[in-house]
Structure 1
């Protein structure tokens, strides 16, 4: 696993020299990745997009013509793949067995198929193990975003929150992200349909005890980042920013 660390110019001073894991869950289109990257940059933390790992396995299976309905084969792929992923909030790259798949894993066919990997319990256990290993390698100073982060991957994180938004807001944001290449029906499937599939194995839309909820429906990007940073401050008893 390739590990690099961010080097912010002037990170905010929150628990410097101490563990600070920020666990972020939420539905599709809620802005988890972009907001989590901004929070990691602002706090001088590493960043892990766990969804990219599921997409990497999906890409490998489709590229290798592995039947996604073959649970054992998908689990085996998750166990044996060499996945390299940068762990900084600036830029992104993902390699599978040395092949650069950074752009390929964001294609619509991957988005449509990734739930088959995300709902494979064996593959999920393996990727959770890898994610927890990455947290340790980053000395527990990292923002981790995905779908079962607050309850399974990092249930003891110093700050845990669900980032959510209304269905209309999430579809609008996903549409802007993808441009004009998707119809409303395709956007609905990617946002609402995928959430419904993934919810069969993990609850990522209801806050567990001790987990904050940030609803960004009526917030712009900067306001959402501020809200999440304030949740981090409250979680470690440093109070919200002035």
Structure 2
């Protein structure tokens, strides 16, 4: 995998492990890493901080367009800033998780963030980008395109562990299943599109999932 230019697109539902697995795959590929979900969370934090009415689609789109957003693409350094404010930890708070679908389902906001994501990908050289519409909208011509999925039971369990057991079963259901249902109205991330390899991690541990993703990358990148 010594290609000077390598774009790996990974999509998947909440709790499928796509962030941690994509980040580790990027390390092993000597590539940058883009968490597009963090971008959506960051602009959601921005809207909430600015008092933007999340029910006003035009206001949300306008807020996203003017957002001064920085996101690190170093897989070993997570950093997200909005207008210079470090929101790396804040965007993972439940109040952002509860609100992010209002931005993620806004078509104008999605178009603006997709534009920014393409700019980051184009400038990176080698990068693993993950999200919900990377394989189909943001980077449909990526060298490797992968849908990372898992059963609902596995996804709820993983998200609960990720949050340190602080969320109730109802909260997890709302943040994982309900959010996926909302986001699925504007992007497809439950079934692989043509040419997209599927990796089901339901019965795989972390290392096995990383290896499965790297194998899918190798198979697709060589034939690209």
Q: Same fold (TM over 0.5)?
A: yes
Deviation for aligned residue 1:137: 1.2
Give the superposed CA RMSD: 0.8
Aligned residues: 223
Name 1:31's counterpart in structure 2. 17
Aligned: 1:127 with 2:151: no
Of 92, 106, 112, the match for 2:92? 106
Deviation for aligned residue 1:205: 1.1
Question: Higher helix share goes to which structure?
Answer: 2
Deviation for aligned residue 1:145: 0.1
Deviation for aligned residue 1:180: 2.1
Deviation for aligned residue 1:91: 2.4
Name 2:185's counterpart in structure 1. 200
Deviation for aligned residue 1:237: 2.6
Deviation for aligned residue 1:174: 0.3
Deviation for aligned residue 1:179: 1.2
Aligned equivalents of 2:189 and 2:151: distance in 1? 15
- TM-score (normalised: structure 1): 0.91
* Structure 1 segments of 4+ aligned residues over 6 angstroms from their partners: none
**CA deviation digits over 1:77-127, x for unaligned, max 9?**
111111011101112110000000000000001001000000000000000
Aligned equivalents of 2:124 and 2:138: distance in 1? 14
Deviation for aligned residue 1:29: 0.2
Unaligned 5+ runs, structure 2? none
Name 1:233's counterpart in structure 2. 218
- TM-score (normalised: structure 2): 0.98
The equivalences for 1:41-190 within 5 A come to 41-139=27-125, 141-190=126-175
Deviation for aligned residue 1:136: 1.1
Unaligned 5+ runs, structure 1? 1-13
Deviation for aligned residue 1:204: 1.0
